[in-house]
Structure 1
Amino acid sequence: MKKSIRALLLLSLFGFSSTSFALSESEAEDLADLTAVFVYLKNDCGYQDLPDGQIRKALVFFAQQNRWDLTNYSSFNMKALGEDSYRDLSGIAVPNDTKCKSLARDSLSLLAYVK
């Protein structure tokens, strides 16, 4: 179970790098996965005070580090992708405390880069 959480995080945090082409479907899904991680931390793990603006900056920073071009970001239904990712993350059969600790450990450091 712990491996599946790590695999999900690795996919969402590192994704596939490309050389500044329009955002692909898999990259949009990776952004949605990362967004779902932050939403899960806020809603289910007691991190309500995470500022939305800082989360947005972290998502843009993540995309820039991967050299993703976000010009076609609005062509994807990011709300639906994010909801699917959140549902998938919520459905992982691991105790919530364990899931929260793992998600926080592996993703909150990204916010430090955009303060």
Structure 2
Amino acid sequence: MQKIALLTYILVLFSFAQPAKALSEEEAESLADMTAVYIYLKYDCGYSQIPDREIRRAVIYFAQRNKWDLNNYNSQLMEKLNQSGYNDLKGINLPQKAKCQALARPSLSLLAYVK
């Protein structure tokens, strides 16, 4: 339940961004997958010290760098996409440690850069 609340919180915050063009389905899926990775790292890989605001900042930064418009972000659709991405990550048949390391390497570097 806490994960869904966090995802909803992130979605609401996305509505304040001002990029240049409408968010396509592919872009929405990319953002949902990115959000799912950070949520997975935070709750399933022991990175609980990652603040929610840093996750939000990294995802918004990524969208803005790509000039994606977050104004047409449908929160119900995004919640489903986020949950789907998270479930996909949980379903990957790899040892937990290997999965966490593979996800952490590129994802945590973006968090560090955005700070």
The verdict on how the C-alpha distance between 1:60 and 1:95 changes in structure 2, with shifts beyond 3 A counting, is same
Query: How far has the Cα of 1:114 moved from its partner?
Result: 2.1
Q: What SS class does the counterpart of residue 113 from structure 1 fall into?
A: helix
Query: How far has the Cα of 1:57 moved from its partner?
Result: 0.5
Q: Deviations over 1:65-109 (max 9, x none)?
A: 111111111366211110000001111111110000010001111
In the alignment, which residue of structure 1 is the partner of 2:69? 69
* Partner Cα distance (2:75, 2:107) in 1: 26
In the alignment, which residue of structure 2 is the partner of 1:6? none
Normalising to structure 1: TM-score of the pair?
A: 0.79
In the alignment, which residue of structure 2 is the partner of 1:99? 99
- Runs (4+) of structure 1 exceeding 6 A deviation are none
Sequence identity (%): 59
Do residues 50 (structure 1) and 50 (structure 2) align? yes
Structure 2: any 5+ residue segments left out of the alignment?
1-18
Do residues 28 (structure 1) and 14 (structure 2) align? no
Normalising to structure 2: TM-score of the pair?
A: 0.79
Structure 1: any 5+ residue segments left out of the alignment?
1-18
Q: What SS class does the counterpart of residue 28 from structure 1 fall into?
A: helix
Cα RMSD of the aligned pairs, angstroms, is 1.5
